Structure 1
Amino acid sequence: MILCGHRGVASLAPENTLAGLEQAHELGLGWVEIDVQLTRDEKAVVAHDEKVNRCTDGKGKLRNYDWDELRRLDAGSWFDPAFKQEHIPRLRDYLARAQSLGIKVNVELKVYAKDDAGQLCRKVSQLIDKHDFDQKNILFSSFEPDCLRYLQVLQPGIPRALLVERIPDDWQAQLQLLDCTSLHCHHQYLTHDQADTIKGSGYRLHCYTVNNLERAATLKDWGVDMIFTDTPQHYLNAGWSPG
């Protein structure tokens, strides 16, 4: 089972920053998960929340910032003063650094109310093509099926995953319609029977956000392919392989 650093390594560095990516590299992880949104001037940036309040010294919705404004925000001090120089990165810079480190990236496309899912997908697709990022090192995921539909056309060579909290009754129909390779769900709602059925149907199964070793061991026994975790160092210290 693969250990994927959630938002980089969220327990060791500010989430969704290059510092978190460096922590993942130091731990020997092969995968990280990040979130992507668009700024007002349509730059793809790595950030989770709709507002910048929690993880920077700014205020308000991320979509109301231009890139030049956003890049000046302190995105590290909230976590620890040692990370004061950290900033919200552009997706292009994050993917470039990940590629240089040999780390694969699960790019989650975040869509909030009034966001344009199509434009987000187009911008992400354009930068991947422009900078010639290796498609085999990227996995797209989203809670928003429209994003997966757009990417089905824009980047058919990059695998896609449907994100859900609880597994819906029509999960297989959705995966087939969106031509997804995997299903991502909240681990606490997954049952053994569901895991058996999903895996038996030929799909990969990934679970978020698993920070308990005992629960992770159970999921591994159930055939889960990957877990997203804030604390990969705890698994590694317990003798687990990064996968």
Structure 2
Amino acid sequence: MKNMCVAHRGFSGKAPENTLAAVRMAIALPFVRWMEIDVQLTKDGVPVVIHDFSLDRTTNGHGKVKNMDYEHVRRLDAGSWKGRAFRGERVPSLKEVLELASGRLRLNIELKTSGDMYPGLEQAVIDLVNAHGMRDEVVLTSFDASALQRIKGLDPRFRTGLIYDSRSGDPARKLKELDCSFLSISFDRLNPRLAELLAERGIRVMAWTVNKAKEMRRLAGMHSEIMICTNRPDIWGDTFLEV
């Protein structure tokens, strides 16, 4: 299917982002082939699926993820902020998400890190993905170039992707420097010339975060291979599966 739908942090328009509830709701839609999630490390080295460096916005906890043990993080409520129906939803471990997604969804796993913020994050993620036999179903992405370089040094078989939202610079050149085959880019940064150039070079492009049908159609008109990352996969379905 062209212009594939990527569920951003799961079906985060309807369920609390980066939770098992959001993953299940994405899996329930047969046209969702990909999902984007965010991964960080707890103080005791467990990869967990959460976007913000702080616990404050999406849980009833406070403080930095990196300063908390996994047992503390897993006891937090990560669902009530989205609605009473999701009360008691937890911050999942990456292991839990991999087990749920295996054979159902391909994953864009964003490593949320900068510099030496999370020593061992890349190895921990690689080990889990390999343990679940999902290396070919995963792309590991990051804003942080050093994280992408570490991944290639640890296991060059992994596909890597650069996340890019700058208004300037040359993303195509940066991808080549980092040996990346995937570009995650803000949808309003994309233009037809760049999309065509990247396609010619064999780079897979994912545009984020696209929640309006008009923008989805504009991107689809730009190039058929652009992956559309959205909080609202239901809108993607209404837009591209019209009878």
TM over 0.5: same fold?
yes
Contact kept, 8 Å, 2:115 with 2:146, in 1: the verdict is: no
In 2, the alpha carbon distance for the partners of 1:167 and 1:135 equals 32
> Structure 2: which amino acid aligns with 1:50?
F
Q: Deviations over 1:115-155 (max 9, x none)?
A: 13x511011112223x2332111111110011110111223
How many aligned positions are there?
A: 238
Match of 1:200 in 2: 200
In 2, the alpha carbon distance for the partners of 1:236 and 1:47 equals 26
Residue 130 (structure 2) pairs with residue 105 (structure 1): no
Q: Which runs of 5+ in 2 are unaligned?
A: none
Contact kept, 8 Å, 1:96 with 1:133, in 2: the verdict is: no
Q: Deviations over 1:175-228 (max 9, x none)?
A: 122211121110112222222222233312111001111111111121142011
Residue 216 (structure 2) pairs with residue 216 (structure 1): yes
Contact kept, 8 Å, 1:36 with 1:46, in 2: the verdict is: yes
SS at match of 1:45: strand
Residue 15 (structure 2) pairs with residue 19 (structure 1): no
SS at match of 1:235: helix
In 1, the alpha carbon distance for the partners of 2:142 and 2:168 equals 15
Instruction: Give the TM-score, by structure 1 length.
Output: 0.92
Match of 1:49 in 2: 52
Q: Which runs of 5+ in 1 are unaligned?
A: none
Match of 1:187 in 2: 187
Deviation at 1:82, TM superposition (A): 0.9
In 2, the alpha carbon distance for the partners of 1:112 and 1:86 equals 28
Match of 1:228 in 2: 229
Deviation at 1:47, TM superposition (A): 0.4
Distance 1:235 1:162, change over 3 A: same
Match of 1:127 in 2: 128
Match of 1:160 in 2: 160
Pairs within 5 Å for 1:138-153: 138-153=138-153
* Segment drifting more, 36-45 vs 25-34: 25-34
Contact kept, 8 Å, 1:184 with 1:205, in 2: the verdict is: yes
**Equivalent of residue 75 in structure 1, options 78, 83, 86:** 78
Residue 176 (structure 2) pairs with residue 173 (structure 1): no
Match of 2:137 in 1: 137
Q: Calculate the aligned-residue CA RMSD, in Å.
A: 1.7
SS at match of 2:120: helix
In 2, the alpha carbon distance for the partners of 1:209 and 1:73 equals 27
Match of 2:5 in 1: 3
In 2, the alpha carbon distance for the partners of 1:201 and 1:125 equals 26
